[in-house]
Structure 1
Amino acid sequence: MITTDTHGQGICLVTPNMPRLTAATATAFKDEVVQMIDQGYDKLVIDLAEVSFVDSSGLGALVGLLKRVGTRGEIILCQPADSVMQMFRITRMDRVFRFLPDRAQALDALNAG
């Protein structure tokens, strides 16, 4: 369901391998990412390049991950499709999450922080 690529200092790149982050996939996605957080990876880059649609369940899963990381870490989202970004804007979640254009910039931001 996801591909992970770990980097030092608690940093993990998470790539959802699904075109839609919806009620059908959100719980499994969240559970897999929580496993990474529980292993000590509390600085996450979630690359949304392959995701073309996110519904409220998908947003809920991402918010749940943000809560799980808490103040000890950070989540950066990168490469969202226009349709996905529109959902974040409509729900005002674009003010909650940090977005960067690509995974390299997101990883650099976490390494610097």
Structure 2
Amino acid sequence: MSLSSTTTDDTQVISVQCDRIDAAMAIQFKEDMRTETGTGARRVVLDLSAVEFIDSSGLGAIVASMKQLGDGRRLDLAGLHPVVEKVFRLTRMDTVFRLFASLDDALAAGSN
């Protein structure tokens, strides 16, 4: 699992650099997210544009990452492939996360 991160103002962008978040990757993903989000930016945007597949373990890892941010911080998701977006919509996680078609759309929306 490879994540890269940049921070501007109060938004941290974390890009996932692999094509799957599944049972084999979920634990490492959660650990990497915990390390990356330790800086305390109010808003974290997870760029999933490279991710082509996610299973329930991957979904659970993203939810766990959101919960570990704590109060006053938010995790938004950007660049979801149609198959990945479908998982979020079928599980109603699209009511928990703000989903953006692209990273640019997420950044344009700001922290509102």
Normalising to structure 1: TM-score of the pair? 0.88
Which structure is higher in helix share? 1
- Tell me the SS of whatever aligns to 1:44: strand
Q: Check whether the contact 2:12–2:44 (CA below 8 A) recurs between aligned residues.
A: yes
1:88 matched residue in structure 2: 88
Cα distance between partner residues in 2 of 1:61 and 1:17 = 16
Q: Which runs of 5 or more residues in structure 1 are unaligned?
A: none
Number of the residue aligned with 1:5: 6
Gaps of 5+ in 2: none
After the TM superposition, list the runs of 4 or more consecutive aligned residues in structure 1 that deviate by more than 6 angstroms: none
**CA RMSD of superposed structures (Å):** 1.5
Aligned length: 111
TM-score between both structures, scaled by the size of structure 2: 0.89
CA distance, structure 1, for counterparts of residue 69 and residue 108 of structure 2: 19
User: For the Cα contact (< 8 Å) 2:80–2:100, is it kept in 1?
Assistant: no
Match of 1:71 in 2: 71
Q: Distance in 2 between matches of 1:71 and 1:101?
A: 25
Structure 2 partner of 1:107 = 107
Q: Deviations over 1:40-59 (max 9, x none)?
A: 23411111111000001111
